Amino acid sequence: MDAPLPAVRVSRRGEERLRQGHLWVFGDDLREVPPGLPQGQWVTVSSRSGEFLGTATCNLSSRIALRLVSRGAVSPSKAFLGERVGQALRRREEAGLGRLEALRLVYSEGDRLPGLVVDRFGALLSVQILTAGMELLRREVVSVLAEMFSPRPLYERSEGGARRLEGLAERKGVLGGDGLPRETVALDGCRFLVDVETGPKTGFFLDQRENRKIVRDLAGERSVLDGFCSTGAFGIYALAGGATRVLAVDISGDAVAAAAENAARNGFGDRWEGRKGNLFHVLRELSEGGRRFDLVILDPPSFTKSREGKEGAVRGYRDINRLGLSLLAPGGILATSSCTQLVDMAKWYEALRDAAA
């Protein structure tokens, strides 16, 4: 029989957040915590009056002290993980996504497995373990994924600020399975070489798939600039939609080379031009030189990870979009996005309005 989990009580504000559907409790809202809790310990969560609210992972060294795993009573185990991963897979199958070669199988809090991200690229899996609570189940995570998917290989990309905020060292490398950490996958009729060892994040940006399809539908007979191109997905979707030419720009020479290889892989090499450089500088140079495009795509990385950098990030969005707009031919389209969590939609729209003024 499993030993009972330690019990934590939260403040009225913490209780209200959980009842409203939030999945996090911050350290300021903890009221009773057993002494000596290990980093990432799984705990039961109760209100001030002792009413049970759920099961969570606890990390007192993180600003996010509790991450809710379930509103019921669960135990950290291989069986629990297998059940949750199975539920995540069934949701994707029911949505018609189960047969995709490139797919996010598990998405952290979205699948009630806070800190676990699993992406499938053909026969290989790329995994991130980003929280202390999930780190405690590392062995079980590897075992469940190996048994359910037989990945070739299972590769870890547990890197970046999220682990540092949890007090965890970065980890990267093969966790199991044979094979190379790269795979060519088909997505919406386009083919991409995904390198989970050296590629961005888990190997490929899956989150922009729907926006890429929109760009594909808009790109017919248009000249295109793909800014912050990474491995070239936006530009390749544009060419698949009938774009006449693409200029792809990124500050990383490796990304520019990978994008050109992906363009050639899809038969678009003769309509593809890659350029390494700081996009702010490149756009300014192109604008001053009179170059114009029918479709400008801007997909920048996060401009800040700290609240202190928020205003600078807003200025960055204003400036990069102003430059993008200056490159549009009459009737042209700007397709732009933001992934800076600290810049909310209102602030981002304000930056876009200022850019267009």
**What is the set of active-site residues?**
339
Q: How far is it, in rounded angstroms, from Cα 155 to Cα 266?
A: 26
Q: How far is it, in rounded angstroms, from Cα 60 to Cα 41?
A: 10
Tokens of 233: 């997905």
Q: How far is it, in rounded angstroms, from Cα 146 to Cα 177?
A: 8
- How does 28-53 read in b/e, with b if 16+ C-beta sit within 10 Å? ebbeebeeeeebbbbbbbbbeeeeeb
Helical H segments across the chain, by residue range: 12-19, 78-94, 132-135, 138-149, 161-165, 209-218, 233-240, 253-265, 279-288, 310-326, 345-356
Q: How far is it, in rounded angstroms, from Cα 318 to Cα 216?
A: 25
Strands 52-58 vs 64-70: parallel, antiparallel or unpaired? antiparallel
Q: CA distances (Å), 200 to each of 175, 203, 204, 231, in order?
A: 19, 5, 6, 9
Query: How buried is 113 (Cβ within 10 angstroms: 0-12 exposed, 13-18 middle, 19+ buried)?
Result: buried
Q: How far is it, in rounded angstroms, from Cα 196 to Cα 92?
A: 22
Tokens of 50: 């002792």
DSSP-assigned letter for residue 99: T
Strands 190-195 vs 182-187: parallel, antiparallel or unpaired? antiparallel
Contact of 352 with 324, CB cutoff 8 Å: no
